A and B are shown apart, each in its own frame.
Chain A
Amino acid sequence: MPLDAYEPTLFELDHAGEGRDWFPRESEEKPIEDLLPPECLAGAPPRIPDVSELEAVRHYTRLSRRNFSIDSGFYPLGSCTMKYNPKICEAMAQLPGFVDLHPEIGAEAAQGILFVMDEIARFLADLTGMQRVTMNPCAGAHGEFCGMLMVRAYHKDRKDHRQTVLVPDSAHGTNPASAAMAGFKIVEVASNTEGCVDLGDLKKKLNNDTAALMMTNPNTLGIFEKDIVEIARLAHEAGALLYYDGANLNAIAGVTRPGDMGFDVVHINLHKTFSTPHGSGGPGSGPVGVGEKLLPFLPIPVIEKKANSYTLNYEYEKSIGQLSTFFGNVGIVLRAYVYMRLHGIEGIRKNSNNAVLNARYLKSKFEKIIPPAMQGDCMHEFVLTMKNKERFGDLTAMAFAKNLLDLGFHAPTVYFPLIVKEALMIEPTETESKRTLDEFADAAAQVLKNYENDQKRVLSAPHTMPVRKLDEVKAARQPDLIFKD
């Protein structure tokens, strides 16, 4: 079956057969109605379609081929960090001694896994310049929520009921959302023409109601906030805490540390800096590091090391409480641990170096094609703008992105950060070769050339994907969210 043909859902392949036996039958069994009250029973099996194993295998194999992935091509998404995931990390996290372990087995019987969780927490603390790290949050945004809860607990503990959190207008959308979930009001801080936090605006908005300032550094424009030490001083002077969104830690890991810049709390997206696979949108892991001020408020359970054995402490007096059913996404933590041990600090530093080198190189090539949104040095990612109508006509950032799909590359991030019009955000990561970057820049130039020759075709891209441009408005206006027969 050719790949661009319609792939039926498994519900359409249902042949309503009998299914097969998965477990041995026992002789002389009581009817199930003798074991469970009949009024609680469904009476009929749930409507899961009956398909053969081969049909299911072919279906999912074909679905997988309708996905772009890191293993199949270059994914220059800014702020998302799609780098290569070494296969050894996957394999090691799947050793039976890890995956078969029940979370209620007790600390004593899980010393190997607790060792890993404690070790990686220590590495991350050293790498970020924090006192201590919790591995409990299940994703970056979950880490943000955890961090903001700790900020709240800190002020409350001091009987200082601060209500506001400052967030730069260039911030990831999760920052304001996480702070709001933690019960804060959000005030936006403007960026200046260099793409950094506007110090004047910050001073105006910082006051004795400010609980925290949330920053990403390098920020979402890929620019290092050069005034960060001054910003930290201002925040602390106002009695606020400084929160570090670690989404871009991969640009500076081993080179400089948020703790040294004055940050009080840091979250880390393990998949971004330490390469755990993205899984089409999770699972991730979002450990959080804290300085001394926030130590008493860590989420439970807290792993504690005595002599050479580890225990799980649920009686942590001032804790913000529990964040997930058990201890977070341990399997993802294992992958990141293997990645860190393979690299050592030299490897991590080299990664940062090459991530920035690749971005700087690619930006220099793009400058001839599409102008950058901001002048100045970029770190591991950069933002371009296609707002110039005279130059780009009807070719929007989105249309440009769809054309790249046709040329074999995943599109960059479009329309983020929100403060840049017609934004394209590109992050090559360290694992891409010079040849790939050259080919990508050539493809970008090709799109502009094609637009000169055949506007209609370029504006109606993509043409080589399993489907052509999809009607998102229809999807939102007439939601079709489940298959109905």
Chain B
Amino acid sequence: MDYIPHTPYERREMLAAAGLATENDLFRSIPAALRNPEIPFPAPMTEMEIADEMEDLARRNEGRRMASFLGGGAYRHFIPQALKSLLSRGDFVTAYTPYQAEASQGTLQSIYEFQTLMCRLTGMEAANASMYDGASALAEAALMACRLTRKEKIAVSAAANPHYCRVLNTYLVAAGIEVVEIPHDGGATCAESLKRMVDASCAGVFLQNPNYFGVVEPMDSLSAAAKEAGALLGVAVYPISLGLLKPPGAYNADIVLGDLQPLGMPLSFGGPYAGFIACKGEYIRQLPGRLAGRTTDADGKTGYVLTLQTREQHIRRAKATSNICTNQALCALAAAMYLFTMGARGLQQAAERSVRNARALQERLCGVKGVRLAFQKPFFNEFVLELPIPIEHFLAKAKEEQVAPGIRLAPGLAGEKEALLVCATELTRKADMERYAEILTKVME
């Protein structure tokens, strides 16, 4: 099956117009020895056949039926119906990067609105049009801090998402930048270690709030410590939490980043998601990625363009702030639609409901004999459980009952004991929490 409109007659006509005798001549500039390779491939299918196959494959993902308590950087949140229907409009989905501004005002204005929303959410003064995901946003933000300070060392909290930290390492090792890890103390970034490890040679301190363990960090004092050492403060945030928590601007963050997935994007097994970076106004020329700006047209009417492109790869080539070209525009659009549709109150409710559900779940689970909360710290909608039994055993039992009870933490990450990162959102159902507790009780007996 294909999507080519030509008739055989038209094809002959076109070949003749191009001065070619046969279709083989189309490729005559390719050396003959390189042409016509044998390529094994399954036979083409009709739309009906592929639909059957895809439905069958979707069913093979057992995880689709499970009651899930998984978080750790990807969260199942409510998605308003209006967003789904608006986002699927062909004029958004099949449009190109808005280089021809006059023909792309829809996308450009939506980016401008997105930038404004990100600033209002984080308390910062500038934001870009999105990055690939939260982890690459962290890496790009760290590189940005190094360019701003002309220093080549980054400190990152050990309580930050380990996936983010691995990506940070991949990017920074390539750039010849040293990464040091500030240990956590009982689930929160250790302020004493921060003061000891961060000195004038350090470009930036990067923290996550709430951190990977769900713990709400004491940002005021950590921020003060980073500033005292002369480093920029970078913060990775979970955007839903900003419905309740103080925006990073309020504790003097310099660069804020995060993953937009919770704002209207489905889980999709890890992507497409989108990252974002917001910063203080004075740093915009080192901010990687696209920026939309408002300007006027020949009649003085308001319009939008991509701007400050002298930072970008298509002009600056090897000297660009980043190689990012395509970003995640449609995902950023989804995030903006989510915020506008839900409104401040909707965001606040999603955050509050998530916190309450997580607390209710934690209290119920810690009521099971032998089960305890790993860290005695305030948490947002995720927490770490310590079990006195091999976690493997519990995970297997839970799976039998179609429950995904949490993310098993790598040994040593949360301490000596084996631990499980458990998450609730506003969508977590009371009945599923009860089922979780029952399975846990049964396993403990």
Q: B57 near A470 (CB under 8 angstroms)? A: no
Q: B350 near A22 (CB under 8 angstroms)? A: yes
Give the total of A residues in contact with B, Cβ under 8 Å.
Answer: 192
Q: In the complex, how many angstroms separate the beta carbon of B118 from the nearest chain A beta carbon?
A: 9
Q: B115 near A282 (CB under 8 angstroms)? A: no
Q: B295 near A480 (CB under 8 angstroms)? A: yes
Of chain A, the residue at the smallest CB distance from B325 is A141
Chain B residues contacting A327 (CB-CB under 8 Å) are 269-271
The verdict on B435 contacting chain A, using a C-beta distance below 8 Å, is no
Chain A residues contacting B439 (CB-CB under 8 Å) are none
The verdict on B183 contacting chain A, using a C-beta distance below 8 Å, is no
CA distance A159 to B304 in the complex (A): 50
Apart from the given pairs A50-B345, A109-B66, A338-B50, 13 other A-B contacts in the complex at a CB distance below 8 Å: A22-B78, A26-B356, A69-B93, A101-B63, A101-B64, A102-B74, A110-B62, A140-B325, A224-B30, A324-B167, A325-B270, A434-B5, A481-B291
Total cross-chain contacts (CB, 8 A): 651
Name 6 A/B residue pairs within 8 A (Cβ), A-sorted. Answer: A46-B347, A284-B326, A325-B167, A344-B43, A467-B105, A468-B301
Chain A residues contacting B196 (CB-CB under 8 Å) are none
Q: B348 near A45 (CB under 8 angstroms)? A: yes
Q: In the complex, how many angstroms separate the beta carbon of B189 from the nearest chain A beta carbon?
A: 14
Chain B residues contacting A88 (CB-CB under 8 Å) are 47, 50-51
The verdict on A198 contacting chain B, using a C-beta distance below 8 Å, is no
Give the total of B residues in contact with A, Cβ under 8 Å.
Answer: 197
The verdict on B157 contacting chain A, using a C-beta distance below 8 Å, is no
Chain B residues contacting A307 (CB-CB under 8 Å) are none
The verdict on B68 contacting chain A, using a C-beta distance below 8 Å, is yes
Of chain B, the residue at the smallest CB distance from A181 is B323
Q: In the complex, how many angstroms separate the beta carbon of B314 from the nearest chain A beta carbon?
A: 4
The stretch of A205-213, A272-280, A386-394 in contact with B is A272-280
CA distance A282 to B4 in the complex (A): 25
CA distance A266 to B315 in the complex (A): 24
Of chain A, the residue at the smallest CB distance from B406 is A104
Q: In the complex, how many angstroms separate the beta carbon of A342 from the nearest chain B beta carbon?
A: 5
Q: A223 near B29 (CB under 8 angstroms)? A: yes
The verdict on B349 contacting chain A, using a C-beta distance below 8 Å, is yes
Chain B residues contacting A462 (CB-CB under 8 Å) are 102-103
| Given contacts A20-B345, A88-B51, A254-B39, A343 and B174 within 8 Å (CB-CB) | no
User: Which 5 pairs of residues, A with B, have the shortest CB-CB distance?
Assistant: A326-B270, A97-B58, A19-B345, A344-B44, A279-B330
CA distance A173 to B326 in the complex (A): 12
Contact of B42 among A21, A84, A325, A344 (CB under 8 A): A344
Interface string of A461-485 (1 = CB under 8 A from B): 0100111111110111001111100
| Given contacts A95-B55, A97-B61, A127-B39, A105 and B68 within 8 Å (CB-CB) | yes
| Given contacts A350-B4, A402-B102, A480-B295, A105 and B404 within 8 Å (CB-CB) | yes
Chain B residues contacting A39 (CB-CB under 8 Å) are 218, 220
Chain A residues contacting B11 (CB-CB under 8 Å) are 357
Q: A279 near B298 (CB under 8 angstroms)? A: no
- State which residues 135-189 of A face B: CB under 8 Å: 138-142, 144-145, 149, 152, 172-174, 176-183, 186
The verdict on A424 contacting chain B, using a C-beta distance below 8 Å, is no
Q: B407 near A104 (CB under 8 angstroms)? A: yes
Most chain A Cβ neighbours within 10 Å, of B63, B105, B219, B314: B63
CA distance A415 to B68 in the complex (A): 51
Contact of B301 among A6, A186, A281 (CB under 8 A): A6
Q: B53 near A9 (CB under 8 angstroms)? A: no
Interface string of B265-309 (1 = CB under 8 A from A): 011111111100000000010000011111111110111110111
Q: In the complex, how many angstroms separate the beta carbon of A348 from the nearest chain B beta carbon?
A: 8
Chain A residues contacting B64 (CB-CB under 8 Å) are 96-97, 100-101
Of chain A, the residue at the smallest CB distance from B161 is A325
The verdict on B380 contacting chain A, using a C-beta distance below 8 Å, is yes
Q: In the complex, how many angstroms separate the beta carbon of A284 from the nearest chain B beta carbon?
A: 4
- State which residues 21-48 of B face A: CB under 8 Å: 23, 26-31, 33-37, 39-47
The verdict on B431 contacting chain A, using a C-beta distance below 8 Å, is no
Chain A residues contacting B100 (CB-CB under 8 Å) are 68, 401-402, 405, 410-411
Q: B290 near A72 (CB under 8 angstroms)? A: no
Interface string of B82-93 (1 = CB under 8 A from A): 100010111111
- State which residues 46-83 of A face B: CB under 8 Å: 46-51, 53, 56-57, 59-72, 75, 77, 80, 82-83
The stretch of A28-36, A235-243, A288-296 in contact with B is A28-36
